[in-house]
Amino acid sequence: MQNFYSDLDLEITQTFLDLELDGKRVGIFHGDDENLNKLIIETQKFDVFCSGHTHRPKIEKIGKTLLINPGTLVDMKYIDSDTPISVAIYDTETDIAEIIEL
């Protein structure tokens, strides 16, 4: 696993995936540390950054980075009836993401 956070003096292991898909640099992180999410996005090293944790589906462009939170596959109706069951689809050719409610 690549560790490009050395300039931030951080050690991240086994919780972060850094990969390339069709020429797009993609970061995937559970997202349970909001400060770390912000730092990762601020680096602008990723074309796409996927994180979840909040279970709230969201697609947002921040600088060059497309931020994707796919939502949740867990039935949240007993916790929060406003949270849909959802996934995200990302098309590397068009650079477009879409939330699909199930």
CATH of residue 72's domain is 3.60.21.10
Question: Which residues form the domain of 66?
Answer: 4-101
Q: pLDDT digit string (tens) for 88-101?
A: 999 999 999 999 99
Residue ranges of the alpha helices (H) in the chain?
Answer: 34-43
pLDDT digits (tens, 9 = 90+) for 51-91: 988 888 999 999 999 999 999 887 666 566 677 889 999 99
Which residues lie below 8 Å from residue 16, measured CB to CB, with a gap of 6+? 1, 27, 28, 29
Per the model's pLDDT, the better-predicted residue between 31 and 61 turns out to be 61
pTM over 0.75: yes
Percent of the chain clearing pLDDT 70 (strictly above): 79
Tell me 47's DSSP state.
S
User: How many domains, the chain?
Assistant: 1
